Structure 1
Amino acid sequence: MKAPTVDDFAALIGIDWADQKHDICENPTGSKKYLHSVVSSKPESIDNWAMNLKIRYPNKQVAIACELQKGPLINALSKYSHLTIFPLNPSSVAKYRQAFTPSGAKDDPSDAYLQAEILALHMDKLTVIQPESAEIRALSQLVEYRRKIVQDRVDLTNKITATLKNYYPQVLEWFSEKDTIIFCDFIKKWPSLMQAKKAKKQSLQTFFNQHNSRYPEVNATRISLIKKATTLTDDLGVIEPNKILIEILIPQLKVLIKGIEQLDSEIKQRYKKQKDRVIFDSFPGAGPQLAPRLLAAFGTKRDRYTDASALQKYAGIAPVIERSGKQKWVHWRYSCPKFLRQTFVEWAGLSVRFSFWAKAYYEQQKSKGKPHNVIIRSLAFKWIRIAFRCWKTRTPYNESMYLEALKRRDSPLLKFAVGA
């Protein structure tokens, strides 16, 4: 696909977005005029502005530069076929501004002008937002929401655990897993040790049976521990405030647990509809949570990336190499989609348990004294290259074929294989 040039557009527009309003700088192509305006962030205002552009520049494309990859404004503008959106890196705009404003002064209209200028001078270095299908975009948002809610569940579980340790630590021993409905319902029914000790054995047994905890020995041990437990403190000044906090937190945890189940069900259904799922199901360690995330990461537009290195760089997995004089140093890529990078790093970490060569690579690097995080990032770099080829050729991954290729090359990696 031909890369767009300035001549392809009737106007170049920079937008400095904000929560309540957006500052706009419009430069008709071939003109030295810069028209400044302000548009409300309300959907009606954005729609009026976008349709006005269509009337003023009939049958022509308009280029828009904005310091966003996604969000409400991008969602609003993406539905207009006459608008082509170029996302800008905020740090790039900041450095461009600093180059011409040494004082560091920042002004929204001026930033809109700078973005329009960057678009005019450096369009060849920018990429266009090419929206995926509605199904892929929905799946992408759902897997990201799930990851965030899982983190919320972890944070809330830690808070509940810390609170229970203040007055009711025994319940943490009775249930090994805290992010479960049975744990929430038990504490909701018996929010203090004294209340749990007063419960009849049959009431406790019935509770466990109702929650499908039907292991007689486990339940008998729990009931015995409940009856023998000694209170940590009898101080009501400690017990009552913490008990109230627990009664507030537990319903929140239950909502998050059920919310994750709902998201899992929705993600599963949407993922099943994707033809490419056979590719991502074939990757070692992907599993039901990471396979949909990987599919959403790659998408379905196979011309989106020129090669594997483009994805490695965009995802923040490829390291940044800097040189100055005779010095050279390598560092972590700071500007990238964090969730995308997290997806590849998590997958690489899990692959060590399920892939023969990945485990061998981990042991090889470990023998060289490399730290765990560095090894996993390096492994993610290799996996992207492999996954990219599978994705491009629509071919599921085959571990045996990859190992055969390593053998043909007489790769030293295999000597580090488990059991070697």
Structure 2
Amino acid sequence: MKAFNPADFAALIAIDWADRKHDVCELDQQNNKTTFSVISSKPEAINAWANALKQKYNGQKVAVACELKKGPLIYALSKFKHIILFTINPSTVAKYRKAFTISGAKDDPTDAAIQLEILQQHMSKLNVITPDTESIRSLAQLVEYRRKLVQDRVDLTNRLSTTLKNYYPQALDWFNEKDSMIFCDFLLRWPSLAQVKRARKQTLHDFFNLHNSRYPDVNEKRINDIKQAESLTSDNAIIGPNLLLVECLVGQLKQLMLSIERFDHEIKSIYKQHSDRFIFDSLPGAGPQMAPRLLAAMGSNRERYQSSEEIQKYAGIAPVTERSGKKEWIHWRYSCTTFLRQTFVEWAGQSVRYSFWAKAYYEQQKSKGKPHNTIIRALAFKWIRILFRCWKTKTAYDESTYLEALKSKGSPLLKYAVESKF
């Protein structure tokens, strides 16, 4: 990625964004003149401001710094070729303000001036927002939104289970998977024990068969359990409100599951068409959910990352080492993209089931007394190095090739695997 310096731009601009308006601090490089202004957050106002910059500086490049990496303002400015976007960590601005402002109080115009000073003095250390291809940008949002919907589904099923325990706990025992259509439809049709006990045996059989639950032993046990079940309570003051809440939660859960299916379809469609798909399909444990997330994490621009260390730090996988005098300590990296870290950590966890060396590494570290989360993060650190090499060289991952590399280096990991025979 090209390294920029202030001399490359006709103007340096910093924006302190807000919901309804944006404070702007602009430095005209030719006249060395700084001006302050305010623009509306409406699309028309942002477009007019960006076009005015193009006319004012005769189409020359202008550098714009902001505390955002994504969002409406970034999306609006990204389409203008004469604007190069730089992102500044909000904590950097806050610490800068605290260091050089007596009160330390936040003030939008002052913050814009602080960002401009950071842009002017430390441009080479700031990240440039470089949009990837349309398919990758679309995929990145889809997989992140899907992950949030899945978490919503977990929260909703937990709340539903808690509510059922108040008056109808038997329903939880009859179905192993709570995030399923059969469970939802069962509760919508028979939201209380009294109602399902009145149902005929054939009606229940027809219901289970209609939902592709065609295991006679399972269905027979369910029906027997239903007929023999005893009420937790007969107090309508308890049953009535909880029954109503269950019906509301089940309706939300069904709609949520349908929405996740729509996201899955769209993600699969984009992923299948990408030329790098073969790389991520070859990764152990990636599967249909993790492979698109890993593709979105790496992107299509091979110049985006120059080393695996850059990815490890950006994703928050690489730990931070601090030193003071004779003391040295290592801690968790706090400033990172949370979803990106989740992606690599969750994939590393899945890889233990599908990769020989990953399983060996997990067992080796476990034998040393390391906790599960620590091992998985360390494993993710190793996987990023492998993935970076595959991605950079456009090569599919091959487990046997990697094992041969470990063998040629005399890796103690393979020796442990042979001796332990896990």
Normalization by structure 1: what TM-score? 0.98
| 1:4-403 paired onto structure 2 within 5 Å | 4-403=4-403
Task: Please report how far the alpha carbon of residue 203 of structure 1 lies from its aligned counterpart in structure 2 after TM superposition.
Answer: 1.1
Segment drifting more, 365-374 vs 55-64: 365-374
Task: Please report how far the alpha carbon of residue 238 of structure 1 lies from its aligned counterpart in structure 2 after TM superposition.
Answer: 0.5
SS in 2 for 1:330: strand
- Read off the aligned partner of 1:47 and give its amino acid letter: N
Aligned mates of 1:77, 1:88 — CA distance in 2: 16
Task: Please report how far the alpha carbon of residue 407 of structure 1 lies from its aligned counterpart in structure 2 after TM superposition.
Answer: 1.1
Equivalent residues of 1:363, 1:416 under 8 A apart = no
- Read off the aligned partner of 2:311 and give its amino acid letter: L
Task: Please report how far the alpha carbon of residue 127 of structure 1 lies from its aligned counterpart in structure 2 after TM superposition.
Answer: 2.1
* Gap runs ≥5 in structure 1: none
SS in 1 for 2:352: helix
- Read off the aligned partner of 1:360 and give its amino acid letter: A
- Read off the aligned partner of 1:338 and give its amino acid letter: T
SS in 2 for 1:279: helix
Equivalent residues of 1:16, 1:24 under 8 A apart = yes
Equivalent residues of 1:14, 1:116 under 8 A apart = yes
SS in 2 for 1:34: strand
Q: Considering only aligned residues, what root-mean-square deviation do their CA atoms show, in Å?
A: 1.0
* Gap runs ≥5 in structure 2: none
Instruction: Map Cα deviations across residues 153-205 of structure 1 (whole Å, 9 max, x no partner).
Output: 00000000000000000000110100001100000000000000011111111
- Read off the aligned partner of 1:419 and give its amino acid letter: K
SS in 2 for 1:354: coil
- Read off the aligned partner of 1:349 and give its amino acid letter: G
Aligned mates of 1:83, 1:128 — CA distance in 2: 11
Aligned mates of 1:208, 1:54 — CA distance in 2: 65
Aligned mates of 2:59, 2:241 — CA distance in 1: 67
Equivalent residues of 1:360, 1:415 under 8 A apart = no
Segment drifting more, 246-255 vs 26-35: 26-35
Task: Please report how far the alpha carbon of residue 102 of structure 1 lies from its aligned counterpart in structure 2 after TM superposition.
Answer: 3.6
SS in 1 for 2:237: helix
SS in 1 for 2:333: coil
Aligned mates of 1:290, 1:416 — CA distance in 2: 29
Instruction: Map Cα deviations across residues 298-346 of structure 1 (whole Å, 9 max, x no partner).
Output: 0010000111101111111111111111111111110110000000000
- Read off the aligned partner of 2:421 and give its amino acid letter: G
Task: Please report how far the alpha carbon of residue 30 of structure 1 lies from its aligned counterpart in structure 2 after TM superposition.
Answer: 4.3
Task: Please report how far the alpha carbon of residue 59 of structure 1 lies from its aligned counterpart in structure 2 after TM superposition.
Answer: 2.2
SS in 2 for 1:353: coil
The runs of 4+ residues in structure 1 deviating greater than 3 Å are none
Identical-pair percentage? 66
Equivalent residues of 1:13, 1:62 under 8 A apart = yes
Task: Please report how far the alpha carbon of residue 267 of structure 1 lies from its aligned counterpart in structure 2 after TM superposition.
Answer: 0.6
Instruction: Map Cα deviations across residues 93-116 of structure 1 (whole Å, 9 max, x no partner).
Output: 111111101422110010011111
Aligned mates of 1:4, 1:220 — CA distance in 2: 71
- Read off the aligned partner of 2:51 and give its amino acid letter: M
Aligned residues: 420
Aligned mates of 1:201, 1:54 — CA distance in 2: 75
SS in 1 for 2:127: coil
Task: Please report how far the alpha carbon of residue 126 of structure 1 lies from its aligned counterpart in structure 2 after TM superposition.
Answer: 1.2
Aligned mates of 2:178, 2:11 — CA distance in 1: 57
Task: Please report how far the alpha carbon of residue 2 of structure 1 lies from its aligned counterpart in structure 2 after TM superposition.
Answer: 3.5
**Which residue is 1:419 aligned to?**
421
SS in 1 for 2:10: strand
Normalization by structure 2: what TM-score? 0.98
Instruction: Map Cα deviations across residues 232-265 of structure 1 (whole Å, 9 max, x no partner).
Output: 0001111001001111111000011111111111
**Which residue is 2:409 aligned to?**
409
Segment drifting more, 176-185 vs 408-417: 408-417
Return closer, same or farther for 1:102/1:359 CA change in 2, 3 Å cut-off. farther
Aligned mates of 1:416, 1:289 — CA distance in 2: 32
Aligned mates of 2:397, 2:416 — CA distance in 1: 22
- Read off the aligned partner of 2:330 and give its amino acid letter: V
